[in-house]
Chains A and B, each alone.
Chain A
Amino acid sequence: MTDPIVSVRKLVKRYASGFEALKGVDLDIAEGEILALLGPNGAGKTTLISAICGITTPTEGTITAGGHDTVRDFRAARALIGLVPQEINLEPFEPVASTVAFSRGLFGKPRDPKLIARILDSLSLGDKATARVRELSGGMKRRVLIAKALSHEPRVLFLDEPTAGVDVELRRGMWEIVADLKRQGVTIILTTHYIEEAEAIADRIAVIDGGRILLVEDKAALMARMGQKVLHVALTARLETVPEMLSAYDLSLSEDGYSLIYTYDTRATRTGVVRLLAAIDAAGLQVADVTTRESSLEEIFVGLTRHEPEGDVA
């Protein structure tokens, strides 16, 4: 990767209690990409983001943003970064436009009401500029948080669980906003525990669990590399057990006994599908239908986080 916009090296976060939320995280984020940080609750997603954004002080390790160290050169580093927090943290009595303008001021930028109006418009909040925050719906409040994070024109935007507790329609709206920002050249890092979300919008996926990054990979490559396919062979007659003749194959029988299920690895040079079908034919079974299904990211993810992450994947 040439010159990552954000670079995390050997990041450790240890709390006074001795608990290690991050156990040596290395991560590079390329400019212009959408990286999904995927992991179950308590995996260390928010801690990682908080450390990059300056809310949490790292115990060990270094972080740079745009080449600036986030501790030593925090002004230059933070100027590049916008953060949309997971919790809806907003002053309830503030008008929308003024809370967004406040955020811009905090980042040392001169006032720019036109820009604020444009940001609000792009988030469909244009008609809410003078409304007070507490009058808004949950989805609107979340968009106000995005507007605040964008107010100082950051090059990198962190979205911490942007769609947690948001209904399906709003979630799709959020994905469109993210895609739009990417088109404008903003680098986006979002945390999520919805695999569907990572699958839908990310360019790359990092899986984090137990304070460790288990893998970082191109989404398509990850799906191809880790992907498994499931072959369903529907039969015309019901079976009680898998026939002796087919015991060489790792087959299972569906509950109704009408189909054989074969899981194979798409990476393997020989998937064994053709030989299996021939063997089924030789066993005298009548095949009614054949279907294959690709494993989703969810299955990959569950497979990764279920095992102890002791260096089996880097």
Chain B
Amino acid sequence: MNLAAIRAIYAFEMQRFFRTLAQSVVSPVLSTSLYFVVFGAAIGSRIETVEGIPYGAFIVPGLIMLTVLTQATSNASFGIYFPKFIGTIDEILSAPLSFIEITIGYVGAAATKALFIGLIILATAFFFVDLTILHPVWMLVFLILTCVSFALLGFIIGIWADNFEKLQLVPLLVITPLVFLGGSFYSISMLPPAWQTVTLFNPVVYLVSGFRWSFFGEADVAIGLSVAMILLFLTLCLGTIWWIFRTGWKLRK
């Protein structure tokens, strides 16, 4: 294992994050605050509670997930796409590195950034609503697993994309709808029965449900199922990346 290389890639990626710290942090915090104002205060005042939880607090886990998923995916996809775009990827491909080191470096950095932003949003939430976290350790476990899984997905997207449009396409057309339809702002039980079944095919449902459970002890699906689904998703992404580097798909000519 080439630890120095992992450190070099990780440090390089994190440097980019800290260089643009203001815009990396300000924009998600601002948009989340707007969600709190619109959904929590304006609309939430008419809804009162969902599953016995005040609506303002109810949406916090979903909002964090929304940002964390988007950030993890876009950070990781950009992180690997940019070297491909400017050609510095050749240096990485010709270095004594296996896919494990490359993936840990890029995905680790993207996941760290997403985790960092997720925690900042959590802190922001405390300004808007009364919040107690029932299972803080599980909350962190869910958050980290989500950051890593979706950074892996973003990494795959970054390798697959051969232009900037494709790079934006998946987050825009897939991730955002999945998050919005994944029970971020409502409980699955509020949907008509037929739609409840459809929703169970949405992986984000398990993330949001499990994450919300760690806050309030209330979940749409069993907690064990949530963890299993996240691990399954993680394994699928890892398998795909292993295959990509084995075959050189989109990377080696």
Which residues of A approach B to under 8 Å, CB–CB?
Answer: 15, 50, 53-57, 74-79, 81, 83, 85, 87, 89-93, 101-110, 148
Contacts and interface: CB of A to CB of B under 8 A. Distances in A.
A55 B252 contact: yes
B189 interface: no
A208 B81 CA distance: 33
Contact of B252 (A57, A78, A103): A57
Interface of B: 2-5, 7-9, 11-12, 19, 86-88, 90-98, 248, 252-253
Interface of B is mostly: helix
Contact of A78 (B3, B9, B94): B94
Contacts of A103: 91, 95
B86 A83 contact: no
Nearest to B87: A89
Given A85-B87, A87-B87, A105-B7, A54 B94 contact: yes
B102 to A, nearest CB: 10
A91 B98 CA distance: 22
Given A57-B252, A87-B87, 6 more contacts: A53-B94, A77-B96, A79-B96, A89-B86, A93-B19, A105-B9
A55 B248 CA distance: 9
Contacts of A90: 86, 88
A27 to B, nearest CB: 18
Given A55-B93, A55-B94, A55-B252, A107 B5 contact: yes
Nearest to A105: B8
A107 B88 contact: no
B96 A89 contact: no
Contacts of A93: 19
A91 B87 CA distance: 9
B9 to A, nearest CB: 7
The 7 lowest CB-CB distance pairs between A and B, nearest first, are A105-B8, A89-B87, A106-B95, A75-B96, A108-B2, A53-B94, A78-B96
Contacts of A106: 5, 8-9, 91-92, 95, 97
Contact of A105 (B5, B88, B98): B5
A75 B253 CA distance: 20
Contacts of A89: 86-88, 90-91
Given A54-B94, A55-B253, A109 B4 contact: yes
A257 B173 CA distance: 78
Contacts of A107: 2, 4-5, 95-96
A180 B201 CA distance: 64
A54 B99 CA distance: 13
A108 B98 CA distance: 12
B101 to A, nearest CB: 9
Contacts of A108: 2-5, 96
A56 B248 CA distance: 9
A91 B88 contact: yes
Contacts of B2: 75, 107-108
Contacts of A105: 4-5, 7-9, 11
B93 A54 contact: yes
B88 A110 contact: no
Contacts of B93: 54-55
Contacts of A78: 94-96
26 contacts: A15-B253, A54-B94, A55-B94, A55-B253, A56-B252, A57-B252, A74-B96, A75-B96, A76-B96, A77-B96, A78-B95, A81-B94, A83-B90, A85-B87, A87-B87, A89-B86, A89-B88, A92-B86, A93-B19, A105-B5, A105-B7, A105-B11, A107-B2, A107-B4, A108-B3, A108-B4
B95 to A, nearest CB: 4
Nearest to A103: B91
Nearest to B252: A57
A216 B88 CA distance: 31
